[in-house]
Structure 1
Amino acid sequence: MLEKLANAALFQLGWFVCVVGGNSLWLLVAVGALVIHLLWISSWEQEGRLILSVVLIGTAVDSALRWLGVFEFMDLPPLIPLWLMLLWALLATTLRHCLLWSAEPWWRASLLGAVGGPLSYYAGGQLAGVQFPYGHLPTLIGIGLLWALLFPLLHFMAQRRAEDNRS
């Protein structure tokens, strides 16, 4: 139980630092949260592939949304900012720990994704100055639908990685 609470606290600390700090030296605090997770709660051997997989999927999804004009960031690169990539890594650390309760049944992950995804994007957008050119409501509805599909997929990946580690 203590590890799940620590995992949730590390994620929240990392989320806040990434969103408020952007691509600054504050990202070292978020990297520190990730390292503490890997040293105290889990390990690179157990979750490294999952973290990398989630970062790749998340970067592809959010970069596509950026390319489609759903988000507007201050910087100009074609991919999402580094702080948002780090958020995906931090999210990956929660899948087998503090958010494990939402993995089954699948609809629980879908419901959490449909509600939590848009809330996180909205709060993060407000704090980080990310613009939603299509308007808040249509964007958040679209993100909710996307996350209703994406979050169960991420949980499925986490379960597969856990099974691979046991074999």
Structure 2
Amino acid sequence: MTAYNLICFQACWFLAAIYQHNAVIWMFGLLLIHFLLSHSKRSDFRLLPIAVLGLFVDQILSIFQIVQFKTSQLDFSVINNLVPIWLALLWIALAISFNHSLAWLNRIKLRYVSLLGLVFGPASYYAGAQFNALTLSVSELNFLITYACIWSVLLPLCTLLASRLNK
């Protein structure tokens, strides 16, 4: 299941980055397959608050115009001024990864998890910007500093939350 989860998350990331709204059905399908195959469905569902936390953070960053996420006219986010559906599905894929391909984060010290967040959080969003899934509304340097600070706290927080939600 760990291998499928890793492949599923990476596929969801690339689908979201490249196709945004047009990836929603494929991303939903991959997540559905994950839940159908998972031996830890209840634990996986318990981690959905992590997706809510991530969406909240992205919504705040969008409101403060640090980034703007690419939407489509078919996306409910245009009406509600919310982050797009493809981003919500991507956060769900990340959240359930804490039970599978990211479970190893629970076995390392939080300061190292923080360092991983500091580097890979901004890198992921920056790569998404290169695929035009989002637009940086501030300079690259300000974006990288902001996201590095946020993800150095957010990744350890998600790791701790996953472990608490699974108890």
TM-score in terms of structure 1 length: 0.88
Shift of 1:102: 2.1
1:117 correspondence with 2:121? yes
> CA 1:74 to 1:29, structure 2 compared with 1: closer, same or farther past 3 Å?
closer
Shift of 1:50: 1.0
Structure 1 vs Structure 2: percent identity of aligned residues? 33
**Unpaired stretches in structure 1, ≥5 consecutive residues:** none
Query: Within 2, Cα distance between the matches of 1:97 and 1:67?
Result: 32
Q: Which of the numbers 124, 148, 155 marks the counterpart of 1:151?
A: 155
Q: Which of the numbers 26, 29, 34 marks the counterpart of 1:29?
A: 26
Shift of 1:129: 4.1
Instruction: Report the equivalent of 2:10.
Output: 12
User: Aligned partner of 2:156: which letter?
Assistant: P
Query: Within 2, Cα distance between the matches of 1:107 and 1:92?
Result: 20
Contact 1:110–1:151 (8 Å) recurs in 2? yes
1:55 correspondence with 2:58? no
User: Aligned partner of 2:4: which letter?
Assistant: A
**Unpaired stretches in structure 2, ≥5 consecutive residues:** 72-77
Q: Which deviations, in whole Å up to 9, do the C-alpha atoms of 1:40-98 show, x marking residues without a partner?
A: 234432211312x0221111100100000101234444211111111110101211211
Shift of 1:101: 1.7
Q: Which of the numbers 61, 74, 89 marks the counterpart of 1:65?
A: 61
SS in 1 for 2:16: helix
Contact 1:27–1:83 (8 Å) recurs in 2? yes
User: Aligned partner of 2:162: which letter?
Assistant: A
Contact 2:50–2:162 (8 Å) recurs in 1? no
TM-score in terms of structure 2 length: 0.88
**What's the Cα RMSD here?**
1.5
- How many residues align? The count is 159
Report the more deviating stretch, 81-90 or 92-101. Answer: 92-101
Shift of 1:4: 1.9
